[in-house]
Amino acid sequence: MSLIGLLSAFFVTLQMVVIVLIGASLLGIPVAWARMARFKVIQFIAAAFIGIIRGIPTLAWLFIVFFSVTIAGWTPGALFSAIITLVVVNSAYFAENYRAGFEAVPSGYKEASAALGLSGWDRTRLVTAPLALKVIVGSSSSIAIQIVKETSVASLIGAQELTYYANAHVAAGGNGMFYFSVIGVFYLALSLVLGIFARRNTNTESTPATI
């Protein structure tokens, strides 16, 4: 076992987590917006996108993306394919999370902001979004942890991250229990850090639930 090999594999995983987390949480915004749009057609398209994405395993999506781009004659590499797949798949989860956050804001606050004569954009910007955000940050941590673990599927198309590293060593005759326990610790550390970050940023004192 080489420490450098392990650390570089961890670095690949970390890089995937960071890019996917940022990419998916940003892409989730327009998807959530479309899902809550006034026009039924846009709403339907967003709902279909979310339904199809979430109804098929991430691993299957990964192969679909990987083989599609390869057939199309484009060879972006395993890591890039995996990142694109995870960004798109998790944007659907984030979108549903954002929508749930907005819907969790009690209608009384929305009505009060309307009764004051605030415009639709101001109502969202000044009242609904700040209240929804408190719910969203807390519940997004489970998606973040899901992303940490899902990066492992990338090993199956050859991205050289933690799981690939363990698999490669076991295939070369290494002790499976040892190698997978070691990478398990790394995954656990990442999940814990994200969990603590989320908890710090959730202000339970003034969540909308307390009127």
Partner 1 sequence: MVDSIVSVPPELKEKQLREPTIVVEGLTKRFGDTEVLKGISFDVKPGEVLSIIGPSGTGKSTVIRCLNLLETPTSGTVSILGQQVSTDGRTLLSQRQLEKLRSRAGMVFQTFNVFPHLTALENVTLAQQHVLGRSKSEARTRAMSLLERVGLGERANFKPNQLSGGQKQRVAIARALALDPEVLLLDEPTSAIDPELRVEVRAVIDELAASGMTMVLVTHEVRYAARLSDRMLFLSDGVVVESGTPDQVVGEPQQERTRRFLHALEDDGV
> Which residue ranges make up the site for partner 1 (CB under 8 A)?
106, 108-109, 111-120, 122, 126-127, 130-131, 134, 205-208, 210-211
Give the shortest CB-200-to-partner 1 separation in angstroms.
18
Instruction: Output the smallest distance, CB 125 to partner 1, in A.
Output: 9
Decide whether 68 or 119 has the Cβ nearer to partner 1: 119
Of 88 and 127, which has the nearer Cβ to partner 1? 127
The residue count for the chain: 211
The distance of Cα 127 from the centroid of its chain, to the nearest Å, equals 25
Is 27:143 a contact under the CB 8 Å cutoff? no
CB of 110 to partner 1, least distance (A): 9
Task: Tally Cβ neighbours within 10 Å of residue 98.
Answer: 25
Q: Which residue in this structure is represented by tokens 């969990």?
A: 195
Shortest distance in whole angstroms from residue 87 CB to partner 1: 30
Question: From CA 87, how far away is CA 80, in angstroms rounded?
Answer: 11
In the bound state with partner 1, the residue whose beta carbon lies nearer, of 114 and 156, is 114
Token readout for 64 is 């679909």
